[in-house]
Amino acid sequence: MEASTLATIVLIGGFFVLMLIKVPVSFAMLLATLGSAAIYGVNLSDVVNQMIAGVKSFSLLAIPFFILMGELMAAGGISEKIVDFANLCVGRFQGGLAYVNCLDSMFFGGVSGSAVADVSSLGSVVIPMMKKAGYDDDFAVGLTVSTACQGLLIPPSHNMVIYALAAGGGVTIGALFMAGAVPGVMLGLSIMLYCFLVRKKKNFPIGERIPKERRKKIIIDAILPMMTLVIIMGGMAAGIFTATESAAIACIYTFVLTYFVFRTAKIKDISIVFKNTLKTLAIVLTLISVAKAFAFMMVILRVPDMLTTFLVSVTSNKYLLLLIINVLLLVLGCFMDMAPLLMIMTPILLPVVTSPMIGLSPVHFGIIMIYNLAIGLCTPPVGSALFVGCAVGKTPIERTSKSMLPLYGVMVIGLFLITFVPAFSMWLPSALGMI
């Protein structure tokens, strides 16, 4: 057996074997990379240099700011204010709390950019509300998990920063942010439409009207945190600052809101916020660093070329190729988290989809990838958003997953619309002159 073939088997096969025996993803990737490099004769220093290069990027500075912003919002109880505002907008109708769940995820996703933060923060508020109102436990949890996918598409999203890095610098983060806005809102509206269609069959309760005397305060309290989205998107669209600068400014704004405007958290407890931020950041950056080395070995072993040759041998039809790529990403998303998959699969698939045969924009493909892998966060066996949602709602994963089958269908339909109708993703950044 040739060294390249054996090294490829060790790299890919070894990684999945280690995953099956429950070795943490970052360690599994590192061990598989080192084993493959040793077999193929790659210097260890080259592997280490790739790991350093993976996190040596100015654009990555946006990630700690976005994570810190989410933690500040969680500490300040911002999620409760957004839930109250969503309840004011749509809570009075039959199935009102289901619509509230969708709408508050749309708002909160736009200011936190994290599906797990969405589920843990909003879920702890909305799931008990839905249970108390008479909604099925599994539906309440499943809906919360599904709507959390919006947070990965509606800017800001640190996963878009990771994709831009993995794409090799040919994609601007601002264009990705703008491209994700419409698909994210479309996903939320699609889930709301599903809730509307099944409201009578599932006998959803009718919500209560919020008293007039509370409405003004609810609106003001919600508009202030949602201005974060205006700062980020508006600043980048106007060319005032970059994604990294917008993240820093939005972080300062959130800090002021939490500790000086709302005063819902004590400044002496800010060390807990920093501690939680560093924990999350350490996981994300470790995954990015190791995944960069893993992707480097795949390029050396010509795995992208082999995959391209295989796909072309299957079919030359661009739509069928896109369907195959979507199915591949959906399957991989069930077994791995988003960050390492973005770092590994982007260098492999991007040359295929941007080739003359398919002709996708790197920005469009970025949204397709993130939407795909967001669905993976909601699916067993390793969907982190699903696990957090079930922990918050105290429901079994198996039962909740079964109740989510129609919602999976809604998300997959949305995925295919975004894949085969590029205008959903591309018109906003095009209109703003970003691509």
Q: Phi and psi of 266, rounded to 5°?
A: -95, 135
Banded model confidence at residue 368, pLDDT cuts 50, 70, 90: very high
Q: Which of 23-37, 90-104, 212-226 tops mean pLDDT? A: 23-37
Residue 404 contacts residue 411 (beta carbons within 8 Å): no
155 near 111, Cβ under 8 Å?
Answer: no
11 neighbors 294 (Cβ within 8 angstroms): yes
| 3-class SS of residue 86 | helix
Q: What is the pLDDT of residue 111?
A: 55
Tokens found for residue 43: 């210097």
Model pTM score = 0.85
User: Of 21, 350, 297, which is closest to residue 164 (Cα–Cα)?
Assistant: 350
| Single-letter amino acid code for the residue at 127 | I
pLDDT tens for residues 278-309?
A: 988 888 888 888 988 998 898 898 888 888 78
Structure confidence at residue 90 as a pLDDT band (50, 70, 90): confident
36 or 91, greater pLDDT: 36
- CA distances (Å), 431 to each of 124, 175, 362, in order? 38, 11, 17
Evaluate if residue 110 carries a pLDDT over 60: no
The C-alpha atoms of residue 416 and residue 410 are separated, in whole angstroms, by: 10
Report the pLDDT value the prediction gives residue 340, as an integer from 0 to 100.
84
Q: What is the mean pLDDT of the chain?
A: 85
Alpha carbon distance 174, 433 (integer Å): 11
Mean pLDDT across the stretch 114-129? 76
